[in-house]
Chains A and B, each alone.
Chain A
Amino acid sequence: MKLTLENVTKTFGDKRAVDGVSTELTNGVYGFLGANGSGKTTLMRMLATVSTPTSGRITLNGNDIFQLGDSYRDLLGYLPQHIGYYKHFTVEKFLFYIASLKGMDKHGAKQRITELLDRVNLTEKTKVKIGKLSGGMKQRVGIAQALLNDPKILIVDEPTAGLDPKERIRFRNLLSEIAQDRIVLLSTHIVSDIEYIAKEILIMKNGRLIEKNTPQKLMEGIQQQVWKVQVNDREVASYQSSYKVGNMVRGSNGVELRIISERKPAGDADHTPVNLEDLYLYYFDKEAGA
């Protein structure tokens, strides 16, 4: 299965939300990384057929996804960034309703709902009204509905928002398990969500796709620009104003700063292994600080 984006552009008035994105996506997890307003959600919406590109084309195995219509949507599982619920529906009723809108038969839906509620740790909440669930639980219902039809293309926009660390790990593992024979597109600005499971990371900035590569390759690309330096308390502000400073670890000998810089920031600075947070900081420093 191959999802192809050919020069996809989406404009809203004068603003280019997505600007000439071209890429190919095959089975595996793809992490879309970008600051707020970078175009991730707009691109996700086009891939989910919620909106159409202003220009360019999205195809699945050579066929335009908008021409494919319901046969494409039949393959799709989607979790929007902001999902609403019918609050007076119970969890089970909501999932049955969505299953029927996905064209599933009652028997198949029943089995799948039981299985998925177990996977997202909501079995005990089956008969509870959605309005009474916490934000994290509602998000888990959202994840379950996206997986109901065993989708071949799963698009999840900020899926871990509101989940506690344990549930985030559970969700990551779930995605990792199912991604072998399907395309999973995951948009986030929480780098740890994709660090270990993404086959490739797509970095978006100002509507453009600026990088697409494996996490390893992307991190290798900035290997010479990540430094660790020990400073005292009084020097921290000066480093922060001159460099992109990531983590700061306070210890007995002062503060250890993680710095992203093309040049060596201090005589005693040492290179340190790169992680995805460094990568994020490298590309989105201004946005992160905003």
Chain B
Amino acid sequence: MTALNEEHVRLGARMVEFAGWEMPIQYSSIMKEHMAVRGSAGIFDVSHMGQLFLTGDGVETLVDRAFTNTFKRRKPGAMEYTHMLDEEGRIIDDMIGTWLDEETFFVVPNAATTETVKEWLGGLAAGAGSVTFQHDPSRFCIAVQGPSSEGILETALDIDLSGLKFFRLLTAEIGGGTCFVSRSGYTGENGFEVYGPAEQATTVWNRVLEKGSPEGMVPVGLGARDTLRLEKCFLLSGQDFHNDRTPLEADHEWVIEWDHDFVGKEALERQKEAGGYRRWSAVLMADRGVPRPGCEVVIPAHDRSPVGRPIGEVTSGTVSPVLNKGIAMAYLDEDRSAPGTTVEIEIRKKGYTSSVVEKPFVKQG
């Protein structure tokens, strides 16, 4: 369990097991928590995410080889979202990394894949030179997200965030411990993530919640974390890919820096050249409905082509609290993945009219 387990229980959270962690799925209601983040602010315990610190003279080479994106060692605190691929170009995990200073690289893999990522990087490090891994699972990460999050966090932690740009990280002394604060998150709203040692977890959590509550901030569980990221079309590791899809299929070519050599590059080049692969696309249902992972996407009834032919598969879906309609992310045949295409999602053997739309489902503001 995380350092904040007692706080969750005190707040009446419904707890679930997730990747070996006991995590809050919801405190009050997924809908209310979701709308609080879109309208004012929410606070999340995401301490289950891994926090790896890499040091040694081989780190720069390792990082360059392991990730699709590139990281500027001489620009500490600049964060990048990246994919980590196997030799076939399939995504092992997605994560955010940053050089904390010229010596230390900090990377945050997903909870269920942290050990895999550690092992994979360890394997690659063997050919890169000296690399030391530090991983303390007791460390906390608290996300503070939403339009009111900046003011709340500044007051609660007595910190100036006005100079902190998007996807930048700073180091701050909070409650007697060294913490990192970054402008980042998984909700698509202006927001922050605070990382630090377990001892500071409850101090940060309670200070922020105390300052935020009068402004409508609520604690938010994994349930709303999922609906929030889905409205913004963010990938979920283990669900939208599990070492079976490439960044090209996931429609994430923007995380690939083609002008460096990384594991999986040749496979991606071949795939890009050949084309004809399914693309991860946003599908909006005409009505309410809950598309679940595994639901088939098929050719709609009015189409001249063979009706009912499968053209894709849903990997994530929910009812969007903002749009009040069913939304799904699905890998669709290339020729059916363009926004504007009409498709049907099959739920319990019934076809529901839907259309491929531009990502994300919910735009800013």
The answer to whether A binds B is no
Interface residues of A (CB under 8 A from B): none
Interface residues of B (CB under 8 A from A): none
